[in-house]
């Protein structure tokens, strides 16, 4: 008997009809003789609607109360799903994150899983029931409070359960047929990827491909969980995320493509500290100030200093919601650091081209820059890793940049991808 963890995202359970459709799929998996654990997200755009509601009540909601509010979303979907499955004649029990033993750190809104003790889930399985677990939520032993794992965190709930229960596979059901060469909402001719290495998936997820939560990919890699991303609206096989050390899942001797996929995001801001004295220790001072605000810095660029002033500019990118804090902290230290100006720009986008084949190919950056030049797109910042090149452009050029690069690197498919549901929010 196999143990299968299935995760259903919000757009797969957006209304009663969808819940019945998903319940049917779960019942079929159970009746085929498998043990089934389900992680479920809040219905449709519930999480966004709850966030809007909180913002309408108070400008800066208390993080503890916000987590209480948001976790209610997954409670609704888990209970509806469990009762629907029971109504179809299969035993099912729903569990909140804390009942399912998802033990986390205490940081509200971005808690990390520290332990998984799924005793009640195991008992439910032993009794022949399907266990439905609320995604995205946990419990901190330190604060004794309910926490959330960050947006998109239900994927991580599913992977953590799969690892703790020793599942045979973790299936991530969503509103597209798998992981594509880029977001099919931006490029309808994006191509489905049959199998992608965990390393490439990590870079894509870290660069904004929200089809999988970054921490879910990390967790799966660390614990050797097999991931299968597929649609809850079709029976197509989706995308397998695999460890190349264990070989390609189809046993194929495939040549690595140079470019595997393109990811993009607008949720970034650029901070430029101008007129920084070009002496040792200034970068350390600036980034220590920023680090104290807990901002996650991504790309950093420092210019050569002007010969006449011996001053330089340092720019860096941070997630949008952390940018203002970083700027306020720097402003407060303007005199002690000795810089002359501070600029904040939230109209930027980051586009990343990812491919393990880049390691062994030259000329990829030249090809990328040429394609953007031909399309008249200005590059503001550049950063690279072994298997990724990221560029920063104006926010309103993001979609065009993705399309241009998708075509330039020969990724366009002959057919259009199906986006089955969801608002893309």
Interface residues with ligand ASP (CB under 6 A) are: 9-10, 41-42, 47, 73, 135-136, 151-154
Q: Which residues on neighbouring strands pair with residue 326, listed in sequence order?
A: none
Q: Which is nearer to ligand ASP, 361 or 423 (CB)?
A: 423
In order, the DSSP letters of 136-197 are: TEEEETTT--EEE--TTTHHHHHHHHHHHHT-SEEEEEESSSS-BSS-TTT-TT--B-SEEE
Using CB under 6 A, list all residues that contact ligand ADP.
9-12, 41, 152, 174-176, 179-180, 182-183, 185, 209-211, 261, 419, 422, 424
CB-nearer residue toward ligand ADP: 145 or 183: 183
C-beta of 181: minimal distance to Mg ion in Å? Answer: 18
Q: Which does 11 bind (CB under 5 to 8 A by kind): ligand ADP, Mg ion, ligand ASP, none?
A: ligand ADP
Distance CA 132, CA 92 (A): 7
Min separation Cβ 72 and ligand ADP, Å: 17
Contacts of residue 290, Cβ cutoff 8 Å, sequence gap at least 6: 297, 316, 318, 326, 329, 330
CB of 324 to Mg ion, least distance (A): 26
First to last CA, the chain: 38
Using CB distances below 5 to 8 A depending on partner kind, what does residue 95 bind out of ligand ADP, Mg ion, ligand ASP, none? Answer: none
Which of residues 5 and 90 has its CB atom nearest to ligand ADP in the complex?
5
Show the CA angle centred on residue 338, arms to residues 334 and 342, nearest 5°: 50
Query: How many C-beta neighbours within 10 Å does residue 371 have?
Result: 18
Which residues are CB-contacts of 335 (< 8 A; sequence separation ≥ 6)? none
CB 115 within 8 A of CB 103: yes
Q: For ligand ADP, which is the closer residue by CB, 67 or 203? A: 203
| Half-sphere exposure (Cβ direction) of 253: Cα atoms closer than 13 Å | 0
Catalog residues that contact Mg ion under the rule CB under 5 A.
Answer: 9, 152
Report in angstroms how near the CB of residue 283 gets to ligand ASP at its nearest.
35
Residue 205 CB, nearest approach to ligand ADP (Å)? 9
In the bound state with Mg ion, the residue whose beta carbon lies nearer, of 35 and 155, is 155
Please choose which of ligand ASP, Mg ion, ligand ADP, none residue 409 contacts, taking the beta carbon within 5 to 8 angstroms, the exact cut-off set by kind. Answer: none
CA dihedral (407, 412, 416, 422) positive or negative: negative
Nearest CB to ligand ADP, comparing residues 101 and 135: 135
Whole-number Å distance between alpha carbons of 35 and 322 = 42
Dihedral angle over CA of 350, 356, 358, 360, nearest 10: 160
Q: 42 touches which of ligand ASP, ligand ADP, Mg ion, none (CB within 5 to 8 A by kind)?
A: ligand ASP
Q: Minimum distance between the CB of residue 250 and ligand ASP, rounded to whole angstroms?
A: 29
Residue closer to ligand ASP, measured from CB, 48 or 399: 48
- Least separation, in Å, of the C-beta of 159 and ligand ADP? 13
């Amino acid at each position: 008997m196999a143990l299968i963890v299935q995760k259903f995202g919000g757009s797969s359970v957006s209304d009663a009809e969808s819940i019945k459709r998903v319940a049917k799929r779960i019942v079929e998996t159970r009746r085929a003789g498998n043990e089934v654990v389900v992680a479920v997200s809040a219905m449709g755009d519930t999480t966004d609607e709850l966030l809007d509601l909180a913002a309408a009540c108070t400008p800066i909601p208390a993080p503890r109360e916000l987590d209480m509010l948001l976790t209610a979303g997954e409670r609704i979907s888990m209970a509806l799903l469990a009762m629907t499955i029971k109504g179809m004649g299969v035993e099912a029990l729903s569990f909140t994150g804390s009942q399912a033993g998802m033990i986390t750190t205490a940081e509200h809104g971005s808690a990390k899983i520290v332990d998984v003790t799924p005793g009640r889930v195991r008992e439910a399985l032993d009794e022949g029931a399907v266990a439905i677990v609320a995604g995205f939520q946990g419990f901190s032993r330190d604060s004794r409070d309910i926490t959330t794992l960050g947006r998109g965190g239900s994927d991580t709930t599913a992977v953590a359960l799969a690892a703790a229960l020793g599942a045979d596979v973790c299936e991530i059901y969503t509103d597209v047929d798998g992981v594509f060469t880029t977001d099919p909402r931006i490029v309808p001719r994006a191509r489905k990827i049959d199998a992608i290495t965990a390393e490439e998936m990590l870079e894509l997820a870290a660069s904004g491909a929200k089809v999988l939560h970054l921490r879910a990919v990390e967790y799966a890699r660390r614990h050797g969980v097999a991931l299968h991303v597929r649609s809850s609206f079709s029976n197509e096989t989706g995308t397998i995320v695999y460890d190349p050390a264990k070989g390609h899942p189809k046993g194929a001797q495939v040549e690595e493509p140079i470019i595997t996929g393109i990811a993009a995001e607008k949720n970034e801001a650029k901070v430029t500290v101008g007129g920084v004295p070009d002496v040792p220790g200034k970068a350390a001072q600036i980034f220590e100030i920023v680090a104290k605000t807990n901002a996650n810095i991504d790309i950093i660029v420092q210019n050569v200093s002007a010969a006449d002033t011996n001053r330089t500019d340092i720019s860096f990118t941070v997630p949008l919601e952390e940018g203002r804090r970083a700027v306020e902290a720097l402003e407060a230290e303007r005199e002690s650091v000795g810089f002359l100006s501070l600029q904040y720009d939230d109209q930027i986008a980051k586009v990343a081209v990812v491919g393990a084949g880049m390691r062994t190919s030259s000329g990829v950056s030249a090809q990328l820059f040429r394609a953007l030049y031909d399309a008249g797109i200005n590059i503001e910042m550049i950063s690279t890793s072994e298997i990724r090149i990221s560029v920063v452009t104006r926010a309103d050029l993001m979609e065009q940049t993705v399309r241009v690069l998708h075509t330039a690197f020969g990724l366009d498919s002959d057919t259009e991808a199906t986006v089955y549901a969801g608002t893309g929010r």
